[in-house]
């Protein structure tokens, strides 16, 4: 089964004619993801790679193409609008890959989606997307490193996630669903919500959670895990060597005002019964030993 | 992007927030002249750091001569690593009370948040530590902005003097407008000052602009040129390279923020000290690697470089080719270890064998290798 994306996904790619959008649309198609539409305003009526119909708006992609999930590759100045356009058109899951979205735009888009009362979920922005191996790739994660299995992966990072997935595959295990929630200060879906979904997913037997410095999402996740999460869970915190006040690449990865320190996150994880490792290899080893 | 106090106050003034009369100067003579116009005044060194008062970088001058003397004493000095070359000369005011008011982005509620305290004029983090109940907050619905009743409630909870309540609501509301209009990530007034005549003003100002939104703020770019930056970071910025300078001696590069952060951790854990954070992004073409590597090598402290690449969509062998070509074209004098994992990593590492680059598959080993090589071992 996996979560969020799978065989039922009917995907519309917003920004399908752009450089990133077209390259990843091709790779997603190659993986077998059911892409039913692309959207580029002004390019309606054309086809992408001779097969995917392109529409001028997401509303048309929903009405005529039956899209239920959207992935966004449009440039940062237009990403906030693209998210809301998808939500307004009735898309149930919006995954925004775009990096560099102004935080107030993200806040407004999230506010719009929240007001819909639970009919739409946003993942990202600034995320690598979601991958359910063997079913659907909705994102930019390299397909060939994935094998289907029982490990749920959640992460704020992209490349670090690929590294973990690669280790999982090499260790002879596989992934149920890998979710990159995004590295920005304001994101649509946080760790806890993904954990809730993984808790209810039959395919997922254990979870690897990759957190990083900045914010308090790890601490919030730890509280949830302690109270509700029954499956074995392994944690890792990235950015442990980062000096306070310096932003480490991800807009959200910054220790400020004494908040978001790695020590607090590791302590919270450990108090919640999460097995915390110092390296990714160690984390994967421990997950494997569990059988 | 951090603004100086005088720049932030310019934005406040544009937004109708009352500030003291003042003028930015860059030499003692101009300070004296400003003092002659303003009367009794405060000389404030401009720096992107707090705690100026305690360190003697804010001084009350009773005459133009004193202002000149204080200005001469501050200009050219270093405060918390910042060279002081600008001063704000402001009229002195008579203080009745000092409050704290700020707006920032709250990750938990996914919205802007107003933070307020009646205990202003001191380091707010100390207040948060010693008297957390003295700090109150109010999240803002971005669809509407703060409502006046929410601001009145905020003032009441913070125990702001009711006589200043009306002005407080007006200033908080305007501060939110300035925050949103300029795409801020932080707008802080500390202290928000009540004067003996009852007037409320923004006596200090701190303002950070969301870097992601600078594309729509051409008018703020002038401020940017004036902001102090590490020269290597400035050059990286010009070339579009994500680079953060750090105090150590091992240059770090990788293809993605997460993997670079992970590499910094690894090197630190093994006893080394990273000299920078540098994200070469996806793809890692020869040109990109060359651009990033030359920035990393601008730092004279760098005694070795660790390049950590994950072959994902871009294959390891293609990345190895790019790295090799880039290094050859740069005449690099320090040792470089390349660690590679992922798609076609084995093939990539094979390409590097026999070159001046040290290939390594295991990340921990790679960290140990570069630390040893940097020591000249």
In the stretch 249-278 of chain B, residues with CB closer than 8 A to chain A read: 254-262, 264-269, 274, 277
For residue B114, give how far its alpha carbon lies from the nearest alpha carbon of chain A (Å).
15
Q: What is the pLDDT of residue B283?
A: 64
Contacts of A248 in chain B (CB under 8 A): 244, 257, 260-261, 264, 277
Nearest residue of B to residue A182 by CA position?
A: B258
Count of A-B CB contacts under 8 Å: 166
Query: Annotated active-site positions of B, please?
Result: 100, 188
Return the minimum-mean-pLDDT range out of A79-93, B164-178, B337-351.
B337-351
Q: Find the mean pLDDT for residues B197-203.
A: 97
Tokens 């076609």 map to which residue?
A: B344
Q: Which of A104, A157, A161 sits opposite B183 (nearest CB)?
A: A104
Q: In angstroms, what separates the C-alpha of B66 from chain A's closest C-alpha?
A: 35
pLDDT at B310: 86
Q: Which domains does chain B have, with CATH numbers?
A: 21-91 (3.30.1490.20), 95-224 (3.30.470.20), 231-374 (3.40.50.261)
Residue of A107, A140, A238 with shortest CB distance to B111: A107
User: Per residue in A190-200, pLDDT tens?
Assistant: 999 999 999 99
Out of A141-150, B11-20, B304-313, least confident range: B304-313
- A53-60: list long-range contacts, CB under 8 Å, 24+ apart: A54/A16, A54/A17, A55/A12, A57/A85, A57/A89, A58/A12, A58/A14, A58/A85, A58/A86, A58/A88, A58/A89, A58/A91, A59/A85, A59/A88, A59/A89
Confidence of residue A257 (pLDDT cuts 50, 70, 90): low
Is pLDDT at B21 greater than 80 in this prediction? yes
Taking only residues 38 to 97 of chain B, the set having a beta carbon closer than 8 angstroms to any beta carbon of chain A reads none
Report, as an integer, the average pLDDT of A149-167.
Answer: 94
The pLDDT score that the predictor gives to residue A52 is 97
pLDDT tens across B131-173, in order?
Answer: 889 999 999 999 999 999 999 999 999 999 999 999 999 999 9
Is the pLDDT at A152 greater than 90? The verdict is yes
pLDDT band at B296 (very low <50, low <70, confident <90, very high): very high
Nearest CA in chain A to B279: A249
CA distance B198 to chain A (A): 32
What is the ipTM for the molecules in this complex? 0.91
Which pLDDT band holds residue B226 (cuts at 50, 70, 90)? low
What was the pLDDT predicted at A253? 74
Task: Read off the pLDDT of residues A211-235 as tens digits, 9 standing for 90 and up.
Answer: 999 889 999 999 999 999 999 999 9
Residue B225: what pLDDT? 59
Question: Is the per-residue pLDDT at A153 higher than 60?
Answer: yes
Give the closest-approach CA distance of B239 to chain A in angstroms: 16
How many Cα atoms occupy the beta-carbon half-sphere of A244 within 13 Å?
7
Which pTM was predicted?
A: 0.92
Could you tell me the pLDDT band of residue A93, with boundaries at 50, 70 and 90? very high
How far is the C-alpha of B86 from the C-alpha of B47, rounded, in Å? 8
Question: What was the pLDDT predicted at B248?
Answer: 94
- A35 compared with A216, residue with greater pLDDT: A35
The number of beta carbons lying within 10 Å of the beta carbon of residue B132 is 8
Given an 8 Å threshold on Cβ–Cβ distance, is A156 in contact with B254?
no
- For each of the domains in chain A, give its residue range(s) and CATH number, in order of start: 11-123 (3.40.50.720), 141-289 (3.40.50.261)
* Active-site residue, from A250, A251, A254, A274: A250
């Amino acid at each position: 089964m996996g979560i969020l994306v799978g065989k039922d996904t009917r995907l519309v790619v917003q920004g399908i004619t752009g450089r990133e959008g077209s390259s990843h649309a091709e790779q997603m198609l190659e993986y077998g993801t059911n892409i039913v539409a692309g959207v580029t305003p002004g390019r309606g009526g054309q086809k992408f790679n001779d097969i995917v119909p392109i529409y001028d708006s997401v509303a048309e992609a929903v009405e005529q193409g039956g899209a239920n999930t959207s992935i966004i590759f449009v440039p940062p100045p237009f990403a906030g609008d693209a998210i809301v356009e998808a939500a307004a058109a009735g898309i149930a899951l919006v995954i925004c890959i775009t990096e560099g979205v102004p935080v107030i735009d993200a806040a407004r888009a999230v506010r719009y989606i929240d007001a819909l009362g639970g009919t739409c979920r946003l993942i990202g922005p600034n995320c690598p997307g979601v991958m359910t191996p063997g079913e659907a790739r909705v994102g930019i994660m390299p397909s060939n490193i994935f094998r289907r299995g029982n490990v749920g992966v959640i992460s704020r990072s992209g490349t670090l996630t690929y590294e973990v997935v690669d280790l999982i595959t090499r260790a002879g295990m596989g992934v149920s669903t890998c979710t990159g929630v995004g590295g920005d200060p304001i994101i649509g879906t946080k760790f806890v919500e993904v954990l809730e979904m993984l808790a209810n997913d039959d395919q997922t037997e254990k979870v690897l959670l990759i957190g990083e410095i900045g914010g308090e999402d790890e601490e919030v996740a730890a509280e949830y895990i302690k109270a509700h999460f029954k499956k074995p869970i392994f944690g890792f915190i990235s950015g442990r060597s980062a000096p306070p006040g310096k932003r480490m690449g991800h807009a959200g990865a910054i220790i400020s005002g004494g908040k978001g320190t790695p020590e607090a996150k590791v302590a919270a994880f450990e108090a919640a019964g999460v097995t915390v490792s110092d390296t990714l290899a160690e984390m994967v080893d421990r997950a494997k030993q569990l059988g | 992007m951090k603004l100086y106090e005088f720049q932030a106050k310019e934005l406040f003034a544009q937004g109708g927030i009352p500030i003291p009369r003042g003028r930015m100067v860059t030499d003692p003579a101009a300070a004296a002249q400003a003092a002659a116009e303003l009367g009794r005044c405060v000389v404030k060194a401009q720096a992107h750091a707090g705690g100026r008062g305690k360190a003697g970088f804010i001084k009350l001058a009773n005459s133009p001569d004193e202002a000149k003397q204080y200005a001469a004493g501050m200009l050219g000095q270093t405060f918390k690593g910042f060279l002081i070359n600008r001063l704000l000369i402001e009229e002195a005011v008579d203080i009745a009370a000092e409050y704290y008011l700020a707006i920032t982005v709250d990750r938990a509620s996914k919205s802007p948040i107003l933070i307020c305290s009646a205990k202003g004029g001191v380091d707010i983090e100390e207040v948060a530590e010693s008297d957390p109940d003295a700090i109150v907050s109010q999240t803002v619905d971005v669809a509407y902005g703060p409502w006046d009743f929410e601001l009145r409630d905020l003032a009441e909870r913070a125990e702001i003097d009711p006589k200043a309540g009306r002005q407080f609501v007006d200033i908080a509301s305007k501060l939110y407008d300035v925050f949103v209009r300029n795409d801020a990530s932080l707008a802080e007034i500390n202290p928000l000052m009540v004067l003996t005549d009852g007037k409320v003003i923004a006596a200090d100002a701190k303002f950070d602009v969301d870097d992601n939104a600078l594309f729509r703020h051409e008018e703020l770019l002038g401020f940017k040129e004036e902001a102090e930056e590490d020269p290597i970071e400035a050059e990286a910025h010009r070339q579009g390279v994500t680079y953060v300078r750090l105090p150590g001696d091992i240059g770090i590069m990788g293809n993605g923020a997460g993997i670079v952060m992970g590499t910094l951790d690894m090197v630190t854990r093994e006893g080394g000290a990273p000299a920078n954070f540098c994200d070469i992004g996806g793809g890692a073409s020869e040109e990109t690697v060359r651009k990033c590597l030359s920035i990393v090598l601008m730092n004279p402290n760098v005694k070795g470089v660790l390049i950590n690449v994950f072959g994902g969509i871009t294959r390891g062998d293609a990345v190895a080719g790019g790295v090799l070509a880039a290094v050859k074209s740069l005449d690099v004098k320090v040792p470089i270890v390349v660690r590679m994992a992922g798609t076609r990593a084995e093939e990539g590492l094979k390409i590097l064998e026999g070159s001046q680059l040290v290939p390594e598959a295991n990340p921990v080993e790679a960290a140990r290798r570069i630390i040893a090589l940097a020591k000249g071992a």
